[in-house]
Amino acid sequence: MLMNKKIKINVQNLWFYYNDHPVLEDISLEIPQNTITAVTGPSGQGKSTFLMTLNRLWENIEGPRIKGRIEIRFTSNFQNIYDKRYNVSDLRRQVGMVFQVPNPLPMSIYNNIAFPLKLKGEKNKKLVTFRVEDALKRSFLWDEVKDRLNKDARALSGGQQQRLCIARALVLNPQVLLLDEPTSSLDDTSGRVIEDLLLELKKECTMILVSHYLDQVKRIADSGMVLSNRQMKQQW
Ligand code: ADP
Give me ligand 1 centre to Cα 51, in Å.
12
Give me ligand 1 centre to Cα 29, in Å.
21
pLDDT tens sequence across 116-174:
999 999 999 999 999 999 999 999 999 999 999 999 999 999 999 999 999 999 999 99
What would the mean pLDDT of 100-121 be, rounded to a whole number?
97
Q: What is the pLDDT of residue 5?
A: 83
Q: What is the pLDDT of residue 3?
A: 58
Q: Is residue 108 part of a domain?
A: yes
Give me ligand 1 centre to Cα 81, in Å.
22
Determine the structural domain holding residue 16 and report its residue range: 2-228
pLDDT of 2 higher than 80: no
Q: Is residue 234 part of a domain?
A: no
Mean pLDDT over each residue of the chain, to the nearest integer: 96
Q: Is residue 83 part of a domain?
A: yes
Instruction: Indicate whether residue 47 lines ligand 1 (CB < 6 A).
Output: yes
Q: What percentage of the chain has pLDDT greater than the value 70?
A: 99
What would the mean pLDDT of 8-23 be, rounded to a whole number?
97
DSSP the chain: -GGGSPEEEEEEEEEEEETTEEEEEEEEEEEETT-EEEEE-STTSSHHHHHHHHHTGGGGSSSEEEEEEEEE-SSSS-EETT-TTS-HHHHHHHEEEE-SS----SSBHHHHHHHHHHHTT---HHHHHHHHHHHHHHTT-HHHHTT-TTSBGGGS-HHHHHHHHHHHHHTT--SEEEEESTTTTS-HHHHHHHHHHHHHHTTT-EEEEE-S-HHHHHHH-SEEEEEETTEEEE--
Q: What is the pLDDT of residue 160?
A: 98
pLDDT tens sequence across 34-86:
999 999 999 999 999 999 999 999 999 999 999 999 999 999 999 999 999 99
Domain total of the chain: 1
Q: Is residue 236 part of a domain?
A: no
Q: Is residue 235 part of a domain?
A: no
CATH number at residue 119: 3.40.50.300
Q: What percentage of the chain has pLDDT greater than the value 90?
A: 97
pTM of the model as a whole: 0.97
